């Protein structure tokens, strides 16, 4: 009986080759589509669940309320500042750690390779709060010359830090102002902007930087 049914099916397929091919193709496409959708949904669910598990139930993100200014160009856009984060850290006793988050776009270049990415400025508490860590290396932390940061760089606990040069800000500004008052305006760039570069400090730079910083502070 089975052999007879198999022969009948084979003759039917041979008699209607195009219909058989289209039927098999439709079944294959349908099965593939179902597998793809299920895999996509499961992957998204796994990713979202992993992010929520990493953050934990004690994580709170504070963002400005744009609902009042949305659609009205005459209302000021609310903003949060670094001082707001500091106020939360000092005034809310149940909060154990606070990190501000400033996001901007950045262009990276290494040799002839260019890459556009986003740049996130945070403080030293960010990895423990968001449970996000770098796979290789360590964070560059603290955009200033705090003594604790310099000590960490010197000991090797911190890979490095980036510092501004406020003394150079004032020095170049006063020098240029003195020339302008004397009638010499040649030092003013066409863009009317003078850029003072930041400085990267590594372990071998700490002693020299501390010595210069002490001299500038008059200590």
Q: Say yes or no: 160 and 209 in one domain.
A: yes
Same domain flag for 66 and 125? yes
Spell out the SS3 assignment of 116-129.
EEEEEECCCCHHHH
Phi-psi region of 192 (alpha: psi -120 to 50; beta: other; left: phi over 0): left
pLDDT tier at 35, thresholds 50, 70, 90: very high
Mean of the per-residue pLDDT values of the chain: 79
Q: State whether 107 and 46 are in the same domain.
A: no
Q: Over 70: is that where the pLDDT of 17 sits?
A: yes
pTM for the full predicted model: 0.40
Q: How far, CA to CA in Å, does 217 sit from each of 115, 211, 212?
A: 40, 10, 9
Q: How many domains does the chain have?
A: 3
Q: How much is the average pLDDT of 187-204? A: 85
Looking at the structure, tell me whether residues 119 and 168 fall in a common domain. Answer: no
42 and 61 fall within a common domain: no
For residues 210 and 164, state if they share a domain: yes
Domain match, 125 and 142 both: no
Judgement on whether residues 167 and 218 belong to the same structural domain of the protein: yes
pLDDT band at 124 (very low <50, low <70, confident <90, very high): confident
The DSSP string of 145-198 is --HHHHHHHHHTSS--EEE--HHHHHHHHHHHHHHHHTT--TTS-TTS------
pLDDT score for 143: 45
Burial profile 151-188: b = 16 or more Cβ within 10 angstroms, e = fewer: ebbbeeebebbebeeeeeeeeeeeebeeeeeeeeeeee
> Residue 69: how many CA atoms within 13 Å on its side-chain side?
10
The torsion angles phi and psi of 78, rounded to 5 degrees, stand at -65, 145
Same domain? For 150 and 212 the reply is yes
The domain of 158 spans 138-219
How far the first Cα of the chain sits from its last, in Å, is 105
Distance of alpha carbon 204 from alpha carbon 200, whole angstroms: 11
Structural tokens at position 10: 């084979």
Among 80, 108, 133, the domain boundary falls at: 133
Which 3 state secondary structure label does DSSP give 94? coil
93 vs 57 pLDDT, higher one = 93
Check whether residue 102 and residue 147 sit in a common domain: no
- The pLDDT tens digits for 155-193 are 888 888 888 777 777 788 888 888 888 888 888 888 888
Do 79 and 42 share a structural domain?
no
Residue that finishes a domain, picked among 133, 156, 190: 133
Instruction: Answer yes or no: do 67 and 101 share one domain.
Output: yes
Single residue among 91, 117, 133 that ends a domain in this structure: 133
pLDDT of residue 140: 59
């Amino acid at each position: 009986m089975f052999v007879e049914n198999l022969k009948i099916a084979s003759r039917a397929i041979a008699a209607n080759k195009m219909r058989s091919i289209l039927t098999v193709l439709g079944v294959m496409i349908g099965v593939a589509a179902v597998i793809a959708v299920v895999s996509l949904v499961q992957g998204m669910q796994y990713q979202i669940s992993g992010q929520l598990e990493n953050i934990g139930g004690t994580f709170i993100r504070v963002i400005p309320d744009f609902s009042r200014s949305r659609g009205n160009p005459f209302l000021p856009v609310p903003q949060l500042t670094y001082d707001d984060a500091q106020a939360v850290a000092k005034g809310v006793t149940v909060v154990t750690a606070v990190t501000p988050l400033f996001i901007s776009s950045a262009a990276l270049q290494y040799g002839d390779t260019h890459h556009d990415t986003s740049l996130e400025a945070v403080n030293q508490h960010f990895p423990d709060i968001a449970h996000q860590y770098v796979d290789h290396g360590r964070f560059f932390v603290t955009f200033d010359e705090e003594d604790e940061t310099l000590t960490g760089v010197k000991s090797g606990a911190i890979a490095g830090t980036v510092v501004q040069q406020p003394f150079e800000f004032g020095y170049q500004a006063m020098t240029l102002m003195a020339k302008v008052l004397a009638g010499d305006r040649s030092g003013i760039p066409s863009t009317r902007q003078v850029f003072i570069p930041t400085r990267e400090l590594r372990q071998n730079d700490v002693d020299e930087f501390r010595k210069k910083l002490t001299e500038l502070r008059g200590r």
